[in-house]
Structure 1
Amino acid sequence: MTTTAHLPVVVIGAGPTGLAAAAHLVGRGLVPLVLEAGPAAGSAVREWAHVRLFSPWAEVLDPAAEKLLAPTGWTRPDPAAYPSGGDWAERYLQPLADVLGDRVRLGARVTGVSRAGRDRIVDADR
């Protein structure tokens, strides 16, 4: 049996969910590798930067992510305020990606995922 313990955990997408997942992995002592197809963290969110979210900051910040951001001097936004997509990307997603540093790879499109020893392949182009 081969071991994969030396490999990073791959997270697909540097949006809110992917970056939160990466923060949780770091909190557990694992090394994530976040692959983002776009040119920046939260690329999809930035496409609707002008739209105000229906949820306040208190509901769109992940505790594990905040824990990673705290030592950087990051200022938590007013929990009752409602951010726009642009606010969310610039004030939270980008700083979180910056903290993760080279663990986030931009311009890295995932075109397929497979598991060794399995005959099923998940492929975006199929």
Structure 2
Amino acid sequence: MAFTGQRGVDRVVDVDFGGNIDTTLKLMGMNSTIAVYATNGDRTPVVPMRELMEKCIALRALVLFALPPPLLAAAQADISKWLAAGPRIHNVAAQFALSDTTQAHLAVEKGDKLGTVVVDCAR
């Protein structure tokens, strides 16, 4: 909240809705959006509707592989532009070589990481 001057964030792309929702709600600003594409921490989470409503938070659930190919390509292009545009807050929990992809998946599935697990295809 200090980073946003106590206003809260406008957008969260959540990789574990069920595991993160309590923390995420504390960080959200008014009229914000949570985009959800995974929920491993709790596969059937309770959706705190009252809290979402009080902050007018939009909840957008999606599965990337279900998007039409042109929409998926556009999303990938937008993400690439966003990442190239300037500094972003990213916490990398762990990095693995491509040959260690199994360990990368295990690190994600363990459920205790804080940040992104990166598989470096060049290593």
TM over 0.5: no
Looking at secondary structure, tell me which structure has more strand per residue: 2
Higher RCO, Cα 8 Å, sep 6+: 1
Question: Which TM-score bucket, shorter chain as reference?
Answer: 0.3 to 0.5
Q: Normalising by the residue count of structure 2, what TM-score does the alignment of the two structures yield?
A: 0.34
